[in-house]
Structure 1
Amino acid sequence: MVRLVDWEGLAPGTNDFRLVAERHVGDAAVPDVLLRVNGLPWVVIAQEPDARGVIDYLIHRIRNLAGASRDSAPARPELARYAQLLVVMDDSDARLGTITSAAWEFDRWRTVAPATEEQVRAELGCPVERPLRPWEALTAGVLRPSHLLDLVRNFVQEREWPPSGYGQQGTVVKTVARYPQYRAVHRVIDLLVDRMDGRSGNTPAWHGGLVRHFADSGAERTMSFLVRRLRAHPQLAGHKIIVVAQRREREHRIADDLAQGGEGVVSPLSAHRAAQALALDVPDVLVLTLQRLVGVRDATEPPYTDLEDPLPAAVNTRSNILVILDEPHDLTVHHVRLREILPNAAYLGFADAPVPRRSQAAVQHLFGTPVDVYTARDALADGVLRPVLYERAADDGKADIDALHVGAPGPAVRTSDASGDDLAAKAARMFRHWAFTGLRHGVAAQVVAASRADAVRYCPALIKARDQLLADIEGLDPDLLSDPDVEDYATEEQRALIALWSYRHVLKRIAPRAAITMGGTEPPEWRRWTQPVGGRAGSGPKGLAEAVAEPPPALLGSGPAWRSDAGRPAYRPP
Structure 2
Amino acid sequence: MPSPTEHKSVQSRIIEYATEIGWQYVSQSEAESRRGFDASAASPREKARNASRFFTDTLFEKVKEFNPKFKDNKADLLRLLDLPLPNIHGNRDFLHYLQGEKTFFSQEENREFNLILIDYDNPANNIFEVTEEYYLFNGQYANREDVVFLINGIPVVVIECKNATKDEAIAIGVDQLRRYHRETPELMVPQQLFTATESIGFSYGVTWNTIRRNIFNWKSEEIGNLEAKVKSFCDRQHILDLLKKFILFAEQNEELNKFILRQHQKTAVDKVVERALDPTKTRGLVWHTQGSGKTYTMIKTAELLFKAPQAEKPTILLMIDRNELEDQMLKNLNSVGVNNVQQVESIQDLQRLLKNDYRGIIVSMVHKFRDIPADVNSRKNIYVLIDEAHRTTGGDLGNYLMAAVPNATFIGFTGTPIDKTAYGKGTFKTFGTDDPQGYLHKYSIADSIEDGTTLPLFYGMAPNELLVPKEILEKEFLSLAEAYGVNDIEELNKILERAVNTKNFLKGKERVDKVAEYVAKHYKENVEPLGYKAFLVAVDRPACAMYKKALDKYLPPEYSEVVYTGNHNDPEELKAYHRDARSEKEIRRKFTRPDELPKILIVTEKLLTGFDAPILYAMYLDKPMRDHTLLQAIARVNRPYENEELEMVKPHGFVLDFVGIFENLEKALAFDSDEINAIVKDINLLKQLFQSKMEKDVPPYLELIQHSFNDKDTDNLINHFRDKSKRKEFFKLFKEVEMLYEIISPDKFLRPYIDTYATLSAIYQVVRNAYAKRVQVDREFQRKTNELVQSKIAGTAPHFNNEFFEINEKTIQKIKDSQDNDNTKVINLIKSIEKIADENSDDPFLIGIKERAEAVEENYESRQISTQEALEEIRKLYEQDLKRRKEQAEKGFDDLTFFIYKKMLENEINNAEEITKQIKGEFVNHPNWKTSEKELRELRQAVYFALLAEEDDIDKAANLIDELFNHLFIAFKL
* TM-score, normalised via structure 1 length: 0.65
2:187 aligned partner: 78
Per-residue CA deviation, residues 56-87 of structure 1 (Å, 9 max, x unaligned), is 222222222223xxxxxx442131x2221221
Any conservation in 1 of the 2:366–2:401 contact (CA below 8 Å)? no
Go from structure 1 to structure 2 and tell me whether the alpha carbon gap of 1:365 and 1:372 turns closer, same or farther (over 3 Å shift): closer
Go from structure 1 to structure 2 and tell me whether the alpha carbon gap of 1:270 and 1:529 turns closer, same or farther (over 3 Å shift): closer
Go from structure 1 to structure 2 and tell me whether the alpha carbon gap of 1:133 and 1:182 turns closer, same or farther (over 3 Å shift): farther
Q: Which residue, 158, 178, 183 being the options, matches 2:249?
A: 158
| Counterpart mapping for 1:54-453 below 5 A | 54-67=169-182, 74-79=183-188, 81-98=189-206, 99-110=208-219, 131=222, 133=224, 135-136=226-227, 138-162=229-253, 170-195=254-279, 200=280, 205-207=281-283, 209-236=284-311, 238-263=313-338, 264-295=340-371, 297=372, 300=373, 312=374, 314-330=375-391, 331-358=394-421, 359-360=425-426, 362-364=429-431, 368=435, 369-393=438-462, 395=464, 425-434=517-526, 439=530, 446-450=534-538
Go from structure 1 to structure 2 and tell me whether the alpha carbon gap of 1:270 and 1:526 turns closer, same or farther (over 3 Å shift): closer
Any conservation in 2 of the 1:94–1:134 contact (CA below 8 Å)? no
SS at match of 2:389: coil
Unaligned runs of 5+ in 1: 68-73, 112-129, 163-169, 301-311, 398-415, 469-510, 551-565, 569-574
Per-residue CA deviation, residues 10-51 of structure 1 (Å, 9 max, x unaligned), is 152334443443259898443222222233332222122634
Go from structure 1 to structure 2 and tell me whether the alpha carbon gap of 1:250 and 1:371 turns closer, same or farther (over 3 Å shift): same
Alignment partners' CA distance in 2, 1:85 and 1:460: 51
SS at match of 1:224: helix
Structure 2: which amino acid aligns with 1:432? K
Quick check: 46-55 or 320-329, which moved more? 46-55
2:660 aligned partner: none
Quick check: 28-37 or 170-179, which moved more? 28-37
Alignment partners' CA distance in 2, 1:544 and 1:463: 29
SS at match of 1:255: helix
Deviation at 1:248, TM superposition (A): 2.0
Q: Which residue, 151, 155, 169 being the options, matches 1:37?
A: 151
Quick check: 1-10 or 281-290, which moved more? 1-10
Any conservation in 1 of the 2:213–2:642 contact (CA below 8 Å)? yes
Any conservation in 2 of the 1:347–1:366 contact (CA below 8 Å)? no
Go from structure 1 to structure 2 and tell me whether the alpha carbon gap of 1:142 and 1:537 turns closer, same or farther (over 3 Å shift): farther
Any conservation in 1 of the 2:291–2:454 contact (CA below 8 Å)? no
Go from structure 1 to structure 2 and tell me whether the alpha carbon gap of 1:182 and 1:431 turns closer, same or farther (over 3 Å shift): same
Per-residue CA deviation, residues 508-556 of structure 1 (Å, 9 max, x unaligned), is xxx9887967789941454443115459965399726884479xxxxxx
SS at match of 1:92: coil
Per-residue CA deviation, residues 222-249 of structure 1 (Å, 9 max, x unaligned), is 0111122224432135221012222222
Alignment partners' CA distance in 2, 1:186 and 1:315: 29
Per-residue CA deviation, residues 477-535 of structure 1 (Å, 9 max, x unaligned), is xxxxxxxxxxxxxxxxxxxxxxxxxxxxxxxxxx9887967789941454443115459
SS at match of 2:298: helix
Alignment partners' CA distance in 2, 1:210 and 1:284: 22
Deviation at 1:277, TM superposition (A): 0.6
Structure 2: which amino acid aligns with 1:355? I
Alignment partners' CA distance in 1, 2:277 and 2:418: 26
Structure number having the greater helix percentage: 2
Any conservation in 1 of the 2:295–2:329 contact (CA below 8 Å)? yes
Structure 1: which amino acid aligns with 2:579? P
Structure 2: which amino acid aligns with 1:357? K
SS at match of 1:66: helix
Larger Rg: 2
Quick check: 5-14 or 26-35, which moved more? 26-35
Deviation at 1:177, TM superposition (A): 0.8
Deviation at 1:260, TM superposition (A): 2.0
Structure 2: which amino acid aligns with 1:213? H
Alignment partners' CA distance in 2, 1:463 and 1:161: 33
Per-residue CA deviation, residues 368-407 of structure 1 (Å, 9 max, x unaligned), is 541110011111111222212213326499xxxxxxxxxx
Any conservation in 2 of the 1:240–1:284 contact (CA below 8 Å)? yes
Quick check: 89-98 or 379-388, which moved more? 89-98
1:529 aligned partner: 587
Unaligned runs of 5+ in 2: 1-103, 105-113, 467-505, 569-577, 595-611, 617-639, 650-837, 841-974
Alignment partners' CA distance in 1, 2:147 and 2:548: 47
Structure 1: which amino acid aligns with 2:315? K
Go from structure 1 to structure 2 and tell me whether the alpha carbon gap of 1:429 and 1:523 turns closer, same or farther (over 3 Å shift): same
Go from structure 1 to structure 2 and tell me whether the alpha carbon gap of 1:40 and 1:417 turns closer, same or farther (over 3 Å shift): farther
Go from structure 1 to structure 2 and tell me whether the alpha carbon gap of 1:465 and 1:268 turns closer, same or farther (over 3 Å shift): same
SS at match of 2:160: strand
Alignment partners' CA distance in 2, 1:336 and 1:184: 26
SS at match of 2:357: coil
Alignment partners' CA distance in 1, 2:507 and 2:643: 26
Go from structure 1 to structure 2 and tell me whether the alpha carbon gap of 1:24 and 1:433 turns closer, same or farther (over 3 Å shift): same
Alignment partners' CA distance in 2, 1:538 and 1:512: 18
Per-residue CA deviation, residues 195-235 of structure 1 (Å, 9 max, x unaligned), is 2xxxx4xxxx423x110000132222101111222244321
Any conservation in 2 of the 1:220–1:253 contact (CA below 8 Å)? no
Alignment partners' CA distance in 2, 1:83 and 1:291: 45
Superposed CA RMSD: 4.1
SS at match of 2:287: strand
2:117 aligned partner: 5
Any conservation in 2 of the 1:181–1:222 contact (CA below 8 Å)? yes
Deviation at 1:54, TM superposition (A): 2.5
Any conservation in 2 of the 1:85–1:96 contact (CA below 8 Å)? yes
Go from structure 1 to structure 2 and tell me whether the alpha carbon gap of 1:9 and 1:136 turns closer, same or farther (over 3 Å shift): farther
2:924 aligned partner: none
Any conservation in 2 of the 1:459–1:512 contact (CA below 8 Å)? no
Identity of aligned residues (%): 21
Any conservation in 2 of the 1:427–1:461 contact (CA below 8 Å)? no
Alignment partners' CA distance in 2, 1:8 and 1:463: 61
* TM-score, normalised via structure 2 length: 0.40
Alignment partners' CA distance in 1, 2:562 and 2:288: 21
Alignment partners' CA distance in 2, 1:89 and 1:465: 50
Deviation at 1:434, TM superposition (A): 0.7
